C-alpha cells in the first residue's frame, strides 16, 4: 500500500526505467482486480448551459462566444438507442450546472432508460440540490460523477467560486451521494496553475479515503475564453517546481490511482487523447485504466461542449470511433466489457 509520501516520490520520478516499473505494477494491479475488460460508456453531453464562473472551464456562464444548447428528450433517447446498438453497458449524461434541466424532466428520461433498456445510468451534472439527486436516484440513476478538481482549498475556491449563495463543498456532496445509494465518481485536474506536487499526492490519497467507485483524472488544458487562459486570475505560487499538465504526468497519476484504488473504474480520458491523438487512450489503458467513454453527442452540439478547445472527439463519428476502438482494444489483448460494468467489491 503506497503512502502519501511514496506517492509524492513517484510523482517526481522522471527516470524512464523506474517509470517502466510503475507502468508494469499498475497494469498488474489492474489485471488482478478488474480484469482485461475495457468498459465502454456512451457519453451524451445533454446541455452546455452553466451557472458557474469557474476560472478554467469554457462552459462558464461568462463565456459569451459559446453557442448554447439543451438537448430534447427525443435527442437524448436517440443517443441511448445508439449506445444499445453499439453494445455499451452504460450511458453517461453530462452537462454544465444547468437548472434549465428540470428535475422531473430528467427523472422521466432516467425512468425510460431503466424501463426500456438494460443500460446503467451515470449522471454528471454538477452540484445539484440533494432533493434533485434523491429524485434521480429514485428514478433509477446508478452513478454520479463529481470531480473535486483539487484538494487544495485555497486553489479550489479561486478556480471554482461559490454560486447561488451556496458554499461549494464537493467532498461533502460526494458523501451525500454515497448515502443516497449512488456509485460515486470523482477526480482532479493535473497541472492546474498553482497546483503543488504535495497537493496532487494528497488528491490521490483522498481517492482512497473517499473509497471512490470511479476516478477520472486528466490534464488541465487551457481555454482562451477563461480568466486562467487570459492570465487574469493569479493562482498561488506552488512551492518549488509547478506540476506540469503533461501527458507523462497524467500517466503517472492514472497508474498511481490504480495502485491506490485497485477496484475503481478508471477511464483513459478524452483529454489524454487530446494530448496524444495517436495512442493516448491505449497508453492510458496500458498504465492502469479500464474504461473508455465514446462520445455519442450529436455532431451539431459536440463542438459546442467546449470545456477546453480542440477536443479529440470533435471530428470522430460515433460509428467510426466505435469500430476503431474495438480493434484497438483487441490489438492490446483486451476485450470490450459486457454489461453495466460496475465496481466489483472485494476483487482479487
Task: List the grid coordinates of 329.
Answer: 482494444
What b-and-e string marks burial along 95-116, b requiring 16 or more CB atoms within 10 Å of the CB? bbbbeebebeebbebbbbbbee
pLDDT per residue as tens digits for the range 6-64: 999 999 999 999 999 999 999 999 999 999 999 999 999 999 999 999 999 999 999 99
CB atoms within 10 A of CB 250: 27
| Angle, CA of 302, 89 and 112, to the nearest 5° | 75
pLDDT in tens, 130-153: 999 999 999 999 999 999 999 999
Whether residue 243 is predicted with pLDDT greater than 90 in this model: the reply is yes
Map residue 248 onto helix, strand or coil. helix
Express each pLDDT in 89-122 by its tens digit. 999 999 999 999 999 999 999 999 999 999 999 9
Report pLDDT for 249: 97
- SS3 call for 29: helix
Let me know: does 71 contact 94? Beta carbons within 8 Å.
Answer: no
Report, as an integer, the average pLDDT of 232-261: 90
C-alpha closest to that of 202 among 163, 245, 156, 246: 156
Cell triple for 97 = 450546472
CA distance 195 to 198: 8
Distance CA 204, CA 238 (A): 18
Q: Is 335 helix (H, G, I), strand (E, B) or coil?
A: strand
Lowest mean pLDDT, pick from 34-43, 68-77, 211-220, 269-278: 269-278
What pLDDT shows up at residue 313?
Answer: 66
Angle between helices 247-260 and 16-34 (to 10 degrees): 40
Matching residue, cell 485536474: 189
Share of the chain above pLDDT 70, in %: 98
Question: Distance between CA atoms of 201 and 208, rounded to whole angstroms?
Answer: 11
Quote the CA–CA distance of 227 and 241 in Å, as a whole number: 22
On whether the CB atoms of residues 70 and 89 are closer than 8 A, the answer is no
Q: Give the span between the Cα atoms of 289 and 269, in whole angstroms.
A: 9
**Distance between start and end Cα atoms, the chain:** 15
Domain 4-331 = CATH 3.30.70.100: no
- With residues binned 3-state (H G I as helix, E B as strand, rest as coil), the percentages for the chain, rounded to 5, are 40, 15, 45
Cα 118 to chain centroid distance, Å, stands at 23
265: pLDDT confidence band, cut at 50, 70 and 90?
Answer: very high
The domain ranges of the chain are 4-331
What grid cell was written down for 186? 470523482
Residue 156 has pLDDT above 90, yes or no: yes
What average pLDDT is seen over the chain? 94
SS3 128: coil
Amino acid at each position: 500500500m503506497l503512502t502519501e509520501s511514496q506517492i509524492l516520490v513517484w510523482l517526481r520520478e522522471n527516470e524512464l526505467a523506474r517509470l517502466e516499473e510503475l507502468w508494469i505494477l499498475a497494469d498488474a494491479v489492474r489485471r488482478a482486480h478488474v480484469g482485461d475488460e475495457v468498459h465502454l460508456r456512451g457519453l451524451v453531453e445533454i446541455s452546455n448551459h452553466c451557472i458557474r464562473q469557474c476560472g478554467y472551464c469554457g462552459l462558464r456562464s461568462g463565456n459569451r462566444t459559446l453557442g448554447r444548447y439543451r438537448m430534447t428528450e427525443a435527442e437524448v433517447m436517440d443517443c441511448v438507442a445508439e449506445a444499445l446498438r453499439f453494445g455499451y453497458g452504460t450511458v453517461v449524461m453530462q452537462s454544465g450546472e444547468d437548472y434549465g434541466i428540470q428535475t422531473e424532466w430528467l427523472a422521466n428520461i432516467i425512468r425510460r432508460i431503466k424501463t426500456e433498456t438494460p443500460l446503467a445510468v451515470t449522471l454528471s451534472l454538477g452540484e445539484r440540490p440533494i432533493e434533485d439527486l434523491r429524485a434521480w436516484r429514485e428514478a433509477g440513476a446508478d452513478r454520479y460523477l463529481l470531480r473535486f478538481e483539487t484538494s487544495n482549498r485555497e486553489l479550489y475556491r479561486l478556480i471554482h467560486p461559490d454560486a447561488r449563495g451556496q458554499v461549494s463543498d464537493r467532498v461533502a456532496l460526494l458523501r451525500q451521494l454515497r448515502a443516497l445509494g449512488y456509485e460515486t465518481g470523482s477526480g482532479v485536474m493535473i497541472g492546474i496553475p498553482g497546483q503543488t506536487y504535495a497537493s496532487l499526492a494528497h488528491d490521490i490519497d483522498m481517492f482512497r479515503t473517499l473509497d471512490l467507485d470511479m476516478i477520472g483524472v486528466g490534464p488541465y488544458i487551457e481555454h482562451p475564453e477563461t480568466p486562467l487562459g487570459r492570465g487574469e486570475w493569479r493562482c498561488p505560487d506552488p512551492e518549488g517546481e509547478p506540476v506540469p499538465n503533461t501527458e507523462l504526468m497524467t500517466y503517472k497519476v492514472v497508474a498511481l490511482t490504480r495502485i491506490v484504488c485497485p477496484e475503481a473504474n478508471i477511464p483513459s480520458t478524452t483529454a489524454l487523447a487530446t494530448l496524444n491523438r495517436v495512442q493516448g487512450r491505449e497508453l492510458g489503458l496500458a498504465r492502469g485504466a479500464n474504461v473508455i467513454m465514446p462520445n455519442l453527442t450529436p455532431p451539431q452540439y459536440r463542438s459546442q461542449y467546449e470545456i477546453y478547445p480542440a477536443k479529440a472527439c470533435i471530428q470522430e463519428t460515433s460509428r467510426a470511433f466505435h469500430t476503431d476502438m474495438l480493434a484497438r482494444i483487441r490489438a492490446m489483448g483486451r476485450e470490450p466489457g459486457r454489461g453495466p460494468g460496475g465496481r466489483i467489491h472485494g476483487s482479487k
